[in-house]
């Protein structure tokens, strides 16, 4: 491949990965064309991009970006996966596909999260964390809980008194 073509590919990769801070590396070797096409379609439906890249070109494209550490110790072929609402949701999808026996040849190889390189085991560990939506619902519940408890504490005696007054009025 000529230097001109390599520079074009590097610029295109840099443009496509511009603004991406968290990504995972996966292996798709051994998957057939139909399987790969179906995989890409299912990932696109979840707002996840998959791109098979040559490691040396990817290193050049992400040099100086938050993704630079992802390709440090990568040997052989790799595909980069990014997208979803957050890195935890992405890790959940990748780990689920890794464990799926119908998707043969797909495996998590690592990645990068907030500038920290990840191993395959760390990706599986991260997939067990609550996703962004789950974290927001936990925080909202924790914020609303004291108010709900206070409301119940204030309204409880009043309701008890009202039910006793009603019961007395029905007796007479």
pTM: predicted TM-score of the whole model, two decimal places = 0.73
Model pLDDT, residue 100: 81
The span from the CA of 108 to the CA of 20, in Å, is 18
CATH of domain 3-129: 3.30.70.1730
The neighbour count for residue 69, using CB atoms within 10 Å, is 17
What's the confidence (pLDDT) of residue 81? 92
pLDDT for res 48? 92
Q: What is the pLDDT of residue 172?
A: 65
Over its length of 172 residues, how does the chain's per-residue pLDDT go in tens digits? 788 988 888 899 888 888 888 999 998 888 888 888 888 898 999 999 998 888 888 888 888 888 888 887 777 778 899 988 888 999 999 998 888 877 788 888 888 998 888 888 999 998 898 888 888 888 888 888 888 787 777 777 877 778 888 888 887 6
Q: Which residue has the tokens 């007796």?
A: 171
Nearest CA to 30 out of 70, 75, 77, 73 is that of: 77
Per-residue pLDDT at 24: 92
Quick one: pLDDT at residue 133?
84
**Cβ contacts of 114 within 8 Å, gap of 6 or more:** 21, 22, 66
Residue 5 CB neighbour total at 10 angstroms: 10
């Amino acid at each position: 491949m000529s230097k001109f073509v390599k520079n074009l590919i590097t610029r295109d990769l840099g443009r496509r990965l511009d603004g991406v801070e968290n990504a995972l590396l996966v292996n798709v070797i051994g998957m057939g064309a139909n399987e790969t096409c179906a995989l890409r379609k299912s990932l696109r439906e979840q707002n996840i991009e998959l791109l098979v890249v040559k490691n040396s070109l990817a290193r050049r494209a992400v040099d100086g970006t938050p993704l630079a550490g992802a390709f440090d110790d990568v040997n052989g072929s790799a595909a980069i996966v990014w997208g979803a609402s957050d890195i935890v949701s992405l890790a959940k999808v990748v780990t689920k596909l890794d464990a799926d026996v119908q998707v043969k040849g797909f495996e998590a190889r690592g990645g990068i999260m907030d500038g920290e390189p990840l191993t395959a085991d760390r990706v599986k560990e991260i997939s067990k964390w609550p996703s962004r939506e789950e974290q927001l619902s936990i925080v909202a519940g924790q914020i609303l809980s004291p108010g709900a408890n206070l409301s119940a504490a204030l309204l409880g005696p009043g309701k008890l008194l009202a039910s006793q007054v009603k019961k007395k009025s029905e007796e007479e």
